[in-house]
Amino acid sequence: MDNALFSRRRAERFAQLLDEANGGRRHHVRSRDDDGLVPLVTLGRKLGTNPPTVEVDPEFRTGLRAMLLATAAREGVGAPVAGPVDKAASGRGSLLPAVTARRARARGAILIGIAAGAVAVSGISAASENAVPGDALYGMKRSTERAQLALTSSDISKGQLFLDFARTRLAEAATLRDGQSGYRAVLDDMDADTRQGVRLLTGAAAQRSDPAALAAVDAFLNQQRRSLGALEGRGSRADRLRTGESLALLDAVVERVNATRAAIACGQQVTASSDPLGPIPATCS
């Protein structure tokens, strides 16, 4: 337990160091954990005096708030003491207030650590927005996208996110110079995001018998076809063939969206079968 980053002993010492750094009473003691905690205390003071100016994604903020509230509820932070304590029975009644205060400070230190880490991660995420394959922060960029998906509940919102990711992959592919490795791999990821987004949005439209969800696909197709067409004649023969495959996928998406919209308009039920682009609509009679 003592090896954990925030074991009870380390958390209590972290709380003491934070108190001292902020002008609190000095305890005139030294712990073997101090060397590892000093950088965290320094970070805590910097965050307090110079908070980073980072635009945090609203969905990330909501998820972080839910996580902190759940942690606070689980750890009992802010909860009143349940009932009076029999000092005679416990034999250590005079120690309870001090122990309770230390535990509350320790739990507060844990939450401070979580919040500081979350702010740091959000700053790194913002810095990684323009990363491309091969950059050091590209993995963080993709992890942030997965986190966004995890915090999104509805199929329509997830479908729109997947299409946004497909746009991002295309923008990354456009930055890769001729002969630079990774172009085809980026297009593979782009097509996978396109299929996922179209599948979720056509499925939502068919399930609700409402073509409103298809408007997001239409907007995506208009922009994506123009941007991808600009790359059609670029690169090696293998790259050009791979670009043609992505264009063919967009053509298939156009056909599926039109068929789904037509089936909804004429009141036809979507067939039970499906493929990577979602449910296959029945032909209008």
Q: How far apart are CA 29 and CA 269, in angstroms?
A: 75
Q: Which residues contact 180 (CB under 8 A, 6 or more apart)?
A: none
When pLDDT is cut at 50, 70 and 90, the band that residue 256 belongs to is: very high
Q: How far apart are CA 246 and CA 201, in angstroms?
A: 19
pLDDT of residue 4: 47
For residue 279, list its beta bridge partners: 274
Q: What percent of the chain has pLDDT over 90?
A: 33
107 exposure class (CB count in 10 Å sphere: 0-12, 13-18, 19+): buried
Q: How far apart are CA 277 and CA 142, in angstroms?
A: 23
Range of weakest confidence among 10-19, 24-33, 105-114, 201-210: 105-114
Please report, as a single letter, which amino acid is at residue 239. D
For residue 281, pLDDT over 50 is answered with yes
Q: How far apart are CA 283 and CA 264, in angstroms?
A: 10
The counts of H helices and E strands in the chain are 10, 2
* Sign of the four-CA dihedral 14, 17, 21, 22: positive
Select the highest-mean-pLDDT range: 124-128, 187-191, 234-238, 265-269. Answer: 187-191
Range of weakest confidence among 5-14, 179-188, 220-229, 239-248: 5-14
Domain spans of the chain, in order of start: 8-78+99-127, 155-281
Q: How far apart are CA 210 and CA 34, in angstroms?
A: 61
When pLDDT is cut at 50, 70 and 90, the band that residue 199 belongs to is: very high
Alpha helices in 128-236 (DSSP H): 138-150, 155-175, 183-208, 214-229
Q: How far apart are CA 107 and CA 167, in angstroms?
A: 42
Closest CA to 201 of 219, 222, 187: 219
95 DSSP 8-state letter: G
Q: CB 106: neighbour CB atoms within 10 A? A: 22
pTM score, whole prediction: 0.58
199, 225, 275, 284 from 189: Cα distances, Å: 15, 16, 18, 34
Q: How far apart are CA 99 and CA 259, in angstroms?
A: 68
